[in-house]
Amino acid sequence: MINKLCIIGVGLIGGSLARALRAAGHVHEVSGYGRSIANLQRAVELGVIDRVEVSLADAARLADVIVLAVPVGGMAEILQQLAPLLTDQVIVTDVGSVKGAVVAAARAALGARFPHFVPGHPIAGREQSGVAASVPDLFRHRRVILTPGTETDSTALARVRTMWEAAGAETIELTAEDHDRILAVSSHLPQMLATCLMDLVVRHDDHRAILDCAAGGFRDVTRIAGSDPVMWRDICLTNRDAMVNALRQYHAELRDLISAVEKGDGEWLLATFSRAKHARDGLNKKN
């Protein structure tokens, strides 16, 4: 059980974690700190947090666990501001979608307190953002990837693991590097494809006719194009190498597809569609 939890960035993910832990009775008090007081007051009205922290100093002094739930591009600055305010008792964790850059920022900012930083990433989300979109069951039966290093304090790691389990999630561990390489394909690449398809269509001369004729397939594939632009800009900027690799692989696959269509290579097309269908059917059975 966490006595005092402070969420920095009470939006979709931070708000959902607060709601889940409150529903599970795993936290005694939740406070929130962020950019705009209006958002934090809304979070109090919605019953997501108990209290607004007006300064980072209070957030650091009063909390047992601090969760950084701001966009990845904002993490370094907050970690730098937090560093001189932390005591050895405070555990800091994050929910950022990229781990290498956040771990590097935490190492640089926290110095001797770095072992009490536990990097994390819940593999759960939705295309809406903000505290009003937060829900208590967002993490139920979902995975949370923790990327501790050799220096990570084992007690801090165990407390963060228990926190996520109380929120209904299963935790797994990866290195930050493996996380960023794998998520570049499983999460970041699908977002890029949805975004590019939507952007291509809206800029197309026939975009009205195309959208009028768009059915479930188009909606399914482009659903996540409605996700928060700041979050995705930050992910692109902080997971650059792994994303460029994933995009290049996809580019090569598209080149092969173009060539097969151009040449009328039915054998290649049938083999590729069949392989993908088999893999996708398997995914349906697994879930």
Residue 189 CA from chain centroid, whole number: 14
27-33 and 2-8 strand pairing? parallel
How many Cβ atoms are within 10 Å of 216's Cβ, its own excluded?
Answer: 7
State which residue, 14 or 168, has the beta carbon closest to ligand NAP.
Answer: 14
- The minimum distance between CB 59 and ligand NAP, in angstroms, equals 11
Q: Which of 91, 100, 120, 129 binds ligand NAP (CB under 6 A)?
A: 129
> In terms of Cα–Cα distance, which of 119, 126, 98 is closest to 15?
126
Cα dihedral sign, 258-261-267-273 = positive
Site for ligand NAP in 145-184 (CB under 6 A): none
Residue 39, classed as helix, strand or coil, is helix
Query: Is 5 or 12 the residue whose CB approaches ligand NAP more closely?
Result: 12
Binding to ligand NAP by residue 226, rule CB under 6 A? no
Q: Which of residues 21-50 bind ligand NAP (CB under 6 A)?
A: 34-36, 39
13, 65, 101, 225: which one contacts ligand NAP (CB under 6 A)?
13
DSSP at 204: S
- Judged by CB under 6 A, the stretch of 71-79, 149-157, 171-179, 238-246 that binds ligand NAP is 71-79
Distances (CA, A) of 245 to 123, 185, 232: 21, 9, 17
Q: Which residues make Cβ contacts (< 8 Å) with residue 157, sequence separation at least 6?
A: 118, 146, 148
Q: Which whole-number Å values give the CA distances from 253 to 180, 247, 257, 258, 272, in the listed order?
A: 21, 10, 6, 9, 10
Closer to ligand NAP at the Cβ: 210 or 236?
A: 236
- Does 12 sit near ligand NAP (CB under 6 A)? yes
Q: Which is nearer to ligand NAP, 9 or 115 (CB)?
A: 9
Q: Supply the minimum distance, in Å, between the C-beta of residue 287 and ligand NAP.
A: 18
Indicate the residue among 170 and 256 with the shorter CB distance to ligand NAP.
Answer: 170
Q: Which residues bind ligand NAP (CB under 6 A)?
A: 8-14, 34-36, 39, 69-72, 74, 78, 95-97, 121-122, 125, 129-130, 228, 231
